Amino acid sequence: MRVLSGIQPSGSLHIGNYFAMMKRMIEYQNSSDLFCFIVNYHALTTVIDGKTLAENTLNAAIDFLSLGIDPNKSVFFVQSDVPEVTELTWILSNQTPVGLLQRAHSYKDKIAKGISPNHGLFSYPVLMAADILLYSGEKVPVGKDQKQHVEIARDIAIKFNNVYGDVLVIPEPDIDKNVATVPGIDGQKMSKSYNNTIKIFAREKEIKKAVMSIVTDSTPVDQPKDPDKSVLFKIYSLFLDKNEKEQLRDRFLTPGLRYGDVKKELFARIMDYFAPFRERQQYYMNHREEVINILEKGAEKAKEEAGNLMEKVRSVTGLNYREVR
Ligand code: ADP
Ligand code: TRP
């Protein structure tokens, strides 16, 4: 089973990224054929400073490796190292109805926020479809916000195959219901763009500040609290097994619980959980050459796969005009 997903190098990784996507990708390494990439072409839609994009790309790779991506068990690379993906994007564009892209939630949300859209933002889902289809991804682990993008990739692949025959593998989104949407410290979806994240690799002080500012309601200490409405409960649950979660639920329902105490415990738990990864990150930060080598080796394998698919695509679409010779 080919499992594949990408992440944008557009800022610091947070626990929403980790639990919804990265942790699961890392688990898939052992049971499937995994392609994992840093989507720097996509990040061009938001990061306009060249130096920042380059740094973010290398940092995203360092972070992924530190969290456990193993280049011996997966194909790990940077999107732009396989520029065939832009060629496939153009070809797929011709099988992509404008209406399909106009209905994309992520695009509509950005417009609603007053962003004046350019073509890159509009065709973002086509580039993502190319990412998935170029490597024949069958299962795509993502958070719930990306479900529609994967469905768009499906629609485009089906349309392409109807026209040109069975060339593309039809992908499926893979979403973990328990962590479909991780709330941010303000209760909205946790997102780099909302400034409401708990970052995995930030300084201890910054993580503490974020955890201590998780929104809570004003239920008095001597009253029971509702765990199902609590952002603090939801975030803490990510780090707990079933029994521990039940225990926390009981504590919420028992009068006397102080949110401040729970936040301090959660902070300690987070630091504990990520400690080994944070240590590894320090190693990779000091061995950037090694990281670049890993990415280049990954790109070689990805290029081979991309080349095989593009050969078929060029042939069925008629781009390989020499075939009529
Ligand atoms: P952000 O919204 O912070 O910019 P990205 O769009 O880069 O995050 O998302 C990277 C991956 O993490 C995607 O698979 C996305 O679905 C997932 N993800 C991001 N934020 C959350 C969240 N709050 N809850 C669940 N999954 C998330
Ligand atoms: N759009 C995805 C996000 O913002 C990133 C992405 C790009 C992706 N290409 C992909 C995810 C291919 C899965 C598969 O999170």
Closest listed ligand to the CA of 146: 1
Helical (H) or strand (E) element with 67 = helix 50-67
Rounded distance from Cα 143 to ligand 1 centre (Å): 6
Domain 2-181+288-323 and domain 202-283 have a common topology = no
**What pLDDT is stored for residue 167 in this prediction?**
98
Sort strands 139-141 and 172-174 into parallel, antiparallel or unpaired. parallel
Closest listed ligand to the CA of 4: 2
Boundaries of every domain in the chain = 2-181+288-323, 202-283
Sort strands 74-78 and 172-174 into parallel, antiparallel or unpaired. unpaired
Q: Tell me if 135 sits within 8 A of 35, measured CB to CB.
A: yes
Asked whether residue 193 carries a pLDDT value surpassing 90, the answer given is: no
pLDDT tens-digit series, residues 97-138: 999 999 999 999 999 989 899 999 999 999 999 999 999 999
Query: Which residues are paired to 139 by β-bridges?
Result: 3, 172
Q: Tell me if 35 sits within 8 A of 26, measured CB to CB.
A: no
Residue 66, Ramachandran bin (φ over 0: left; ψ between -120 and 50: alpha; else beta): alpha
Rounded distance from Cα 114 to ligand 2 centre (Å): 23
Q: Taking the model in full, what pTM does it have? A: 0.93
**What pLDDT is stored for residue 70 in this prediction?**
96
At 2 the three-state DSSP class reads strand
Ligand 2 site, residue 25, Cβ cutoff 6 A = no
Asked whether residue 325 carries a pLDDT value surpassing 90, the answer given is: no
- List residues with catalytic annotation: 110, 189, 192
Measured from CB, residues less than 6 Å from any atom of ligand 1 are 7-8, 10, 16-17, 20-21, 142-143, 145-146, 181-182, 189-193
Q: What is the distance between the alpha carbons of residues 98 and 201, in angstroms, rounded to a whole number?
A: 39
Q: Is 141 annotated as a binding residue?
A: no
At 233 the three-state DSSP class reads helix
Terminal C-alpha separation, the chain: 38
Q: Is 8 annotated as a binding residue?
A: yes
Asked whether residue 51 carries a pLDDT value surpassing 90, the answer given is: yes
Superfamily for domain range 2-181+288-323: HUPs (3.40.50.620)
Asked whether residue 271 carries a pLDDT value surpassing 80, the answer given is: yes
Superfamily for domain range 202-283: Tyrosyl-Transfer RNA Synthetase (1.10.240.10)
